[in-house]
Amino acid sequence: MPDNTSKLTRRRFLTATAGGIVSAGLLNLTPARTLAQESDGDTAAAGGNIIHRTLGRTGLNVPIVSMGVMNASNPEIVQASYEIGIRHFDTAAYYQFGRNEQMVGSVINRLKARDKIVLASKIHTPGQRRGLPPEESKKKLIEACEASLRRLGTDFIDVLYVHDVGDPETVADKAIIEGMEILKEQKKVLYTGVATHTRMNEVIEAVVQGGFYDVVLTAVNFTMAENTALLESIRKAAEQGVAIVAMKALAGGARWPNPQARQNYSSSTIATAALKWVLRNENIATSIPGYTNYEHMQEDFSVARNLEYTDEEKKLLSDNNVKLSLGYCHQCRKCLATCPEGVDIPNLMRTHMYAAQYGNFHQARATLNDIPSGAGLRHCGDCSSCRAQCANTVDIAHRIEELKMIYC
């Protein structure tokens, strides 16, 4: 569960960073200004330059660590992220019922930093697009984008994703593509993408073959090290100029209290090792770890300057017990064939992750509500037939039982 109560307050954060600035001989600048200078390529006081990569054929250049804002509700964390050097912020119309976009937009506008950041958002979820005739789908997509622009307080979005794409058919959907083309012609969107949690390699392959979308936001983390199909799809996409942005890099929230994973390793080691594993793959442009306090912000961004593993991180990444104890659902969907009731188990596992690991009950409820009628939580008969099919030994039955306690 995210630690929303940090021992590091904004004042202490600025004081601590100012200490480093003094030692660097930059006392005449404010902490915010100096940190912003560092992000533009200046040498930092310690740890070297921030590593930047290009978002594929978009040409946009960003630090390898960005901010996933989904779980954050404190605008000061967003501002501090900008001040420390983050230049890419990822939000969605779906997050916190639009309030997340409002918060991100208000901070960016207050800092007058719109021309210095890459802003990404997501619209048109499965529940919102399911069953719509083509013209209605196109209309809803355009309206959703315009609503996001109003909440963000901007004239354009750098990267606009179709939210939660889990099949190649949606990638090729002509109505969605036509809607995106209209938004690009109107200069309301610069680049387009898809966000995918499931069947990731198939979705990425479809994006490469289709040639329309510029960016893929995909789940990828060290528990997927043996998923050669996904890693190969990522490589092919990068070769073709499709930018890959990583989400779920911490394997669904490595900071939540997990006695098995944390028995021999600190939560800090788990977080930095997991991020480094993802970002050492140069086919991945940047990652969007989510955090809600200053300590985790600094922890995550520390890897932006140095991707070399520490001995402790190497030990963790070679410890198979850690991967298993994290219990990360790979969304492989093998469990679906065993369910006699046709329950959407992968999305229930995402719901559990948002609720129990992220502590984000808004997103958990939204994900639960997006599951089609007849495939939801109430239809699970607790037979546990799904458990035997899980390649990553996730205790599916226990997690569904916990969800029932919360939502039924």
Find the mean pLDDT for residues 238-253.
Answer: 93
- The β-bridge relationship of strands 61-63 and 52-54 is antiparallel
At residue 32 the predicted structure's pLDDT band, cuts being 50, 70 and 90, is very low
Cross-strand bridge partners of residue 247: 219
**CB burial of residue 333 (10 Å; 0-12, 13-18, 19+):** middle
Q: Is the pLDDT of residue 44 over 80?
A: no
194-204 per-position pLDDT tens digit = 999 999 999 99
54-93 per-position pLDDT tens digit = 999 999 999 999 999 999 999 999 999 999 999 999 999 9
374-406 per-position pLDDT tens digit = 888 888 887 878 877 777 778 888 888 888 888
pLDDT at residue 247 in the model: 97
Q: Is the pLDDT of residue 327 over 50?
A: yes
At residue 29 the predicted structure's pLDDT band, cuts being 50, 70 and 90, is very low
Find the mean pLDDT for residues 253-269.
Answer: 70
Q: Is the pLDDT of residue 143 over 80?
A: yes
Q: Is the pLDDT of residue 325 over 90?
A: no
At residue 256 the predicted structure's pLDDT band, cuts being 50, 70 and 90, is low
Q: What percent of the chain has pLDDT over 90?
A: 63
Find the mean pLDDT for residues 297-325.
Answer: 91
pLDDT at residue 14 in the model: 56
At residue 10 the predicted structure's pLDDT band, cuts being 50, 70 and 90, is low
pLDDT at residue 338 in the model: 84
Question: Are the CB atoms for 18 and 31 separated by under 8 Å?
Answer: yes
Domains of the chain: residue spans and CATH: 9-49 (no CATH), 50-318 (3.20.20.100), 334-407 (no CATH)
pLDDT at residue 21 in the model: 38
Give the strands of the sheet with 67-68, arranged side by side.
67-68, 88-90, 118-123, 157-162, 189-196, 215-219, 243-247, 286-287
Q: Is the pLDDT of residue 237 over 60?
A: yes
pLDDT at residue 48 in the model: 77
